[in-house]
Amino acid sequence: GGRSRRVSMGAVATVVSYLAGYLFLVFVAVCLACGLYYLAELCEEFTSATKRVIYWTILVVLVEHVLLLIFEPLPKHLVLLGMVAHACYFQLLKSFPFLSFGSPATLGSVALLCANTYLWLKHFFGDFHQVTTVLGFMLLNSWLVPFGFFISLSVNESVLPSSGANAQHLAAGEAYTEVGLGGGRRKGQSGVLSVFSFFQSKKEELMPGMGKRV
C-alpha cells in the first residue's frame, strides 16, 4: 500500500521542457561567444603574456602525461602520442603569434590533434566511461593548448611580420596597433574577433539604438 506511483508528464509539460532545454543551449552558446570574444581581445592586447601562458600550459600538460605514463594503466602509445603532439606545439611557439598554415609544424600539429582526439575517444568509448569524465580528460590532454592557439589567430592576422615597426611592437610584447587619421590608435580586428564583430554589426542593424537605451 506504500508503493509510490510514477506520474508521467503530459504533452504541455513535455513541450515546455524541450523549449526550456533549447533556450538553455542558446544561453550557453551566447555565454561561450562572449567568453571567446573577451579572450581574443586579451590575446591581442597582451601577446607576450599569451605566449607565456601557452608555454607553461604545454609544460604542465607534458608533466601530467609523464605522470599518466608512470602511474596510470592507460595505453602507453596514446600517452606517448599526446606527448609528441605537445612537443610539436612547442614548435609553433617559435614564431608566435605568426602561424603559417602551410608550414610543417602547423600541419603536423593539426594532424596530431586529430589523431590524438580520435584515438582517445575510441579508447574511452570502447569501455563504459561517464561523458563528463571523458570531456574533462580530453579538455586538458588534447584540446586546451590547441584552443589557446585558436584564440590567438586574431593576433596572427592583425600583425604583419614584414614591417619593422610591427616587429618592434612584438619585441615589446604588444599587439599591433595602427595610427588612425585623427592621430588616435586603432587596433585591427580580424580572425576570431571579426566573426564576433560581424554578429555585433548585424545586431545593430536589426535592433538599432538598442544599446543606447540601456
- pLDDT at site 105: 87
- pLDDT at site 142: 92
Task: For residues 50 and 152, give the distance between their C-alpha atoms in angstroms, rounded to a whole number.
Answer: 8
- pLDDT at site 65: 95
- pLDDT at site 6: 62
Cell numbers given for 184: 588616435
Claim: this prediction has a pTM higher than 0.85: no
User: SS3 for 10?
Assistant: coil
Cβ pair 149, 155 in contact under 8 A: no
- pLDDT at site 174: 44
Taking the chain (214 residues) in runs of 10, the rounded mean pLDDT of each run is 60 84 89 84 84 92 94 92 93 82 88 94 85 90 90 65 46 41 42 57 57 46
Cβ pair 36, 151 in contact under 8 A: yes
Cβ pair 96, 152 in contact under 8 A: yes
Q: Closest Cα to residue 89, out of 152, 155, 146, 173?
A: 146
User: SS3 for 33?
Assistant: helix
Cβ pair 65, 141 in contact under 8 A: yes
Cell numbers given for 37: 570574444
pLDDT in tens, 143-191: 999 988 888 876 665 554 544 444 444 444 444 443 333 333 344 454 5
153: CB partners within 8 A, 6+ apart:
99, 191, 192
